[in-house]
Amino acid sequence: MNLPDYNEARTRDKRKYNRLTFKLDKNIEKKYVGKTYFLKTYGCQMNEHDSENISALLEALGFSRVDDYNDADLVLLNTCSIRENAHNKAFGMLGRLKHLKSEKKDLLIGLCGCMAQEASVVEEILKDYKFVNFVFGTHNLYQLPEILDEAVKSSKQQIEVFSREGDLVEGLPVIRSNDFKAYVNIIYGCDKFCTYCIVPYTRGRERSRKKEDILEEIKELVRDGYKEVTLLGQNVNAYGKDLYDNYNMGDLLEEIALMNIPRIRFMTSHPWDFTDKMIEVIGKYPNIMPSVHLPVQSGSNRILKLMGRRYTKESYLELFHKIKDTIPGVAISTDIIVGFPGENEEDFQETMSLVQECKYDNAFTFVFSQREGTPACKLKDNTTQEEKEERLQRLNEVVNTYFLENNKKLVGTTVKVLVEGTNEKKDMYFGYSETNKLINFTSDKTIYCGDIVDVEITDAKTWSLDGRVQ
């Protein structure tokens, strides 16, 4: 048994980690043919992509997927720790599974992802959720086949969680959930340690994949007809820093832009590492989508300092305007936390004024959530939850008006859309524009999923646009 430990997870040193190539143990390949699995994913794109690897590992063992957990022989929860409600959702699901297991004794239940990296969660599972058969963390996902096999053989809970990121594993199998859009990891982990954030503990230090491995994966995606890649990392802008002296995110973006892939996206960017070279490259290549997610978190310098964000409102705005001025038609989205410990009305008004200046195309807004083990947990907090919720509401009202205002400017223009499918009534297609806006549209011509079509925008809503194919 290996239990998670935050002291170890916090450690950053010069120690080199290993780079391994995944190999499936032949003794368990296809051992579970006829068995079914249900996989539930919480959280971010990183988790979604991990789940694409998990599905492929399970299918290599012989499992086939079902959409209803009542029909499954194995239920696996790939969890998220970012805010308390993500936690609550996973524990709520475990409650339902407990009930199911009381009727179906052979049901296997597993938990993985970010929550598995938290000592308090694992303690709780050991104590109160004995029906969970196995737990593994984000650093040892590649060991799923062995851990699962051991759990089947043994009556004991299998808890295998590495706190220090061990290895960077290439060659994991993957079953992609979309035929035209693909996620490609470029860097794992985060070294920023923003004081509110649990990610540096659950995902470990920054580790870049070798550029050759990334380029090879994209080459294969192009060969398979993929139209869009999203380069993933907790902070993609730090790409290469741990690996190369003279090759960073700007260089990687440029090399990928020269490959034959129609659309390139990336997320997430910390404002601290956003270089001029990156801005120049994004502006220069039409296949790098003019869409930047640039989390600001707060508009108050006092709060930004307490958050450990390493920039001021002024330097953020300077970067924001440089991106807007250099990349034609760019859409910028953001993340904002309200109710950080010590945030007063004046600080909140600073955030409101920043939002009024930036007029974001999209914003993900959150009330601060205490994460055990993070420095912000220890800060004094006099604001009531009610007041925080009320600030969130005021903020949302303002950001929403800008989403609509920006969308309205597009009415009458023509945008390029990657066709993804039809809506439930099948009377409209949907897809995303280059600036990552959801477009619902009609077409008189025959079009197919994966096509990139010109759509004339006819109507604007807050979170989507309507149009018709030209």
Q: Which chain residues interact with ligand 5AD by CB under 6 A?
A: 82-83, 196-197, 295, 297, 335, 337, 366, 368-369, 371
Neighbours of 134 (CB within 10 A): 25
Applying CB under 6 A, does 199 fall inside the site for ligand SF4?
yes
Please give the single-letter amino acid code of residue 390. E
Q: How far apart are CA 470 and CA 457, in angstroms?
A: 10
Report what 114 binds from ligand 5AD, ligand SF4, none; CB cut-off 5-8 Å by kind.
Answer: ligand SF4
Applying CB under 6 A, does 81 fall inside the site for ligand SF4?
yes
Nearest-approach distance from CB 56 to ligand 5AD, in angstroms: 26
Nearest-approach distance from CB 247 to ligand 5AD, in angstroms: 26
Please give the single-letter amino acid code of residue 77. L
Give the three-state DSSP class for 328. coil
Applying CB under 6 A, does 47 fall inside the site for ligand SF4?
yes
For the chain, how big is the Rg over CA atoms in Å? 23
Nearest-approach distance from CB 14 to ligand 5AD, in angstroms: 28
Decide if 418 contacts 448 (C-beta within 8 A).
no
**Tokens 């997320």 map to which residue?**
267
Decide if 31 contacts 61 (C-beta within 8 A).
yes
Applying CB under 6 A, does 292 fall inside the site for ligand SF4?
no
Angle at 76 between CA 72 and CA 80, to 5 degrees: 145
Nearest-approach distance from CB 273 to ligand SF4, in angstroms: 18
Q: How far apart are CA 119 and CA 254, in angstroms?
A: 41
Nearest Cα residue to 321 out of 285, 288, 354, 352: 354
Nearest-approach distance from CB 317 to ligand SF4, in angstroms: 26
Applying CB under 6 A, does 143 fall inside the site for ligand SF4?
no
Applying CB under 6 A, does 203 fall inside the site for ligand SF4?
yes
Report what 22 binds from ligand SF4, ligand 5AD, none; CB cut-off 5-8 Å by kind.
Answer: none
Q: How far apart are CA 109 and CA 79, in angstroms?
A: 13
Using the minimum distance from each CB to ligand 5AD, give the nearer residue, 146 or 335. 335
Using the minimum distance from each CB to ligand 5AD, give the nearer residue, 82 or 419. 82
Using the minimum distance from each CB to ligand SF4, give the nearer residue, 77 or 332. 77
Among positions 80, 186, 232, 376, the unique one binding ligand SF4 when judged by CB under 6 A: 80
Nearest-approach distance from CB 293 to ligand SF4, in angstroms: 13
Among positions 39, 94, 114, 256, the unique one binding ligand SF4 when judged by CB under 6 A: 114
- 41-49, 254-262, 362-370, 403-411 -> range binding ligand SF4 (CB under 6 A): 41-49
Q: How far apart are CA 422 and CA 434, in angstroms?
A: 19
Nearest Cα residue to 135 out of 265, 123, 5, 256: 123
Stated length of the chain: 470
Q: Tokens for 210, please give them.
A: 């070798």
Binding site for ligand SF4 (CB under 6 A): 43-44, 46-47, 80-82, 113-114, 198-199, 202-203
